[in-house]
Amino acid sequence: MEIKVNSVKPYEKAILPALQFDVEVRHNQFERVILGVSGYLKSDDGKMLSTLREVSFQEGEEIRSLGTLGARGSYRDKEFEEHISNRFLLIAILDKIALDYIEKRRLSDIKRRVILNLELHVTFLVSRTLISHLHLTNEKVVLPGNREGYRVVFAYSPDYASQYNNLWVLSATGGPSFLHVEKRVKAVRIEIPETDWIYDFVPKFGLGGYFIVEIPKGGDIVKDAWSYIEKAEEAFRRWDSKSVYTYCREAGKLLDRVVKERFGEDCFVYKERWGRAYANFEKLASLDLHIEDIKQRYKAKAEEIKIGKAGCEYLLTLTKLLIKFAEELLREYETTKT
């Protein structure tokens, strides 16, 4: 039996946010019949997010053939090896707590992907039925009440087929159990790229809008600045806010030094174009250095004056934009020089 997930999309027929999964199960068509598919939706770290429920692919009444159970021991045994595929549409309803947790885990991923785990439970009916190879002979016998009958014999035949319906006598393999119900559990990992999640899923879930800024990473001009960003992002995943500010501040100092050396201290580009951008950045990046002075100045409770997640994310984004700006200025310089 092969179980796979063909696609994952937002499910738009529910009032609450929901995900839909197109699940395909491939199996021997006369050996087993699928009774249903269910399961659980889990986060990448194994936390339960929702149950999986089966819904119809289309509106209205629907009759679907999920397979036909067969009995072994006839000329049709070769059909037991023929496979069919059954498709099931499973949905997972997500509440706010589940969505918040998915977003939290997404932001901790270096590629900002949504990583989910499906625990699929496939329940199916298995045939243990055998056909007895009974053959009708031409030998007549006298039955009680002077009734005539014919003698029936058992003889194995690899291509057994009876010409009389009442000679298809059934038995069971290893005992009186004709049918057996089994369940197979399979884990399937689902990855949703950042852009797909933001553009295709978030608007359908009513989570608000995003905008994407493309920032080329790892430019050769200020390569060391990007190494500081990598360290800052690692610190952010550990929720070490002080290190985030430290690494971003060091990246800014490096950029300022490079731009200053390239253009000169009294140049318009350094003093005005770069200087204004860097001044705003430097003021923000030094916040954690002055946090104790700020507490004394405002005479507020310690828990009221703190550096939050939003502030760290803003500084990280601003630092990346500052790197991009510096690279563009340096690229302009190289172009005009040649």
For residue range 240-250, list pLDDT tens digits in order: 888 888 999 99
Round the CA-based radius of gyration of the chain to a whole number and report it. Answer: 35
Residue 292: its pLDDT value, please? 66
252, 278: one domain: yes
80, 152: one domain: no
54, 140: one domain: no
3-state secondary structure of 17: coil
Section 246-261 average pLDDT = 91
Q: CA 193, CA 114: separation in Å to the nearest integer?
A: 7
- Mean pLDDT, the chain, integer: 84
Residue 28 is encoded by which pair of tokens?
């021997």
Q: For residue 316, which phi and psi values (nearest 5 degrees)?
A: -60, -45
47, 196: one domain: yes
Residue 242: its pLDDT value, please? 85
Inside any domain, residue 217: no
- Kindly tell me if the per-residue pLDDT of 217 is higher than 60: no
3-state secondary structure of 76: helix
Residue 265: its pLDDT value, please? 86
- Kindly tell me if the per-residue pLDDT of 211 is higher than 50: no
240, 304: one domain: yes
279, 309: one domain: yes
Check which CATH number belongs to the domain holding 111 and give it.
2.60.40.10
Strands 114-127 and 83-93: unpaired
- Domain count along the chain: 3
Inside any domain, residue 218: no
Q: CA 36, CA 165: separation in Å to the nearest integer?
A: 32
Higher pLDDT, 213 or 5: 5
Q: Which residues contact 47 (CB under 8 A, 6 or more apart)?
A: 101
151, 89: one domain: no
pLDDT digits (tens, 9 = 90+) for 283-295: 888 887 766 666 6
86, 141: one domain: no
Instruction: Give CA angle at 127 (120, 172), nearest 5°.
Output: 145
Inside any domain, residue 153: yes
Inside any domain, residue 214: no
Q: Which of 294, 62, 32 lies closest to 182, judged by CA?
A: 32
98, 139: one domain: no
pLDDT digits (tens, 9 = 90+) for 25-41: 988 878 888 888 999 99
- Domain region containing 240: 223-337
267, 290: one domain: yes
Higher pLDDT, 61 or 231: 231
Residue 25 is encoded by which pair of tokens?
């199960």
Inside any domain, residue 71: yes
* Per-residue b or e along 306-323, where b marks 16 or more CB atoms closer than 10 Å to that residue's CB: eeeeebbeebbebbbebb
Inside any domain, residue 212: no
Section 249-260 average pLDDT = 91
Residue 212: its pLDDT value, please? 47
Is the Cβ–Cβ distance between 253 and 320 less than 8 Å? Answer: no
Cβ burial of 117 (10 Å; 0-12, 13-18, 19+) is: middle
Section 3-14 average pLDDT = 91
Which residue in the block uniquely carries the two structure tokens 């340096």? 330
Is the Cβ–Cβ distance between 188 and 116 less than 8 Å? Answer: no
Residue 187: its pLDDT value, please? 94
Inside any domain, residue 305: yes
Instruction: Give CA angle at 132 (130, 135), nearest 5°.
Output: 155
72, 112: one domain: yes
82, 191: one domain: yes
pLDDT digits (tens, 9 = 90+) for 72-126: 888 888 877 778 888 899 999 999 899 989 988 988 888 889 999 999 999 999 8
Inside any domain, residue 15: yes
pTM comes to: 0.59
Crossing angle for the helix pair 309-337 and 241-263, to the nearest 10 degrees:
20
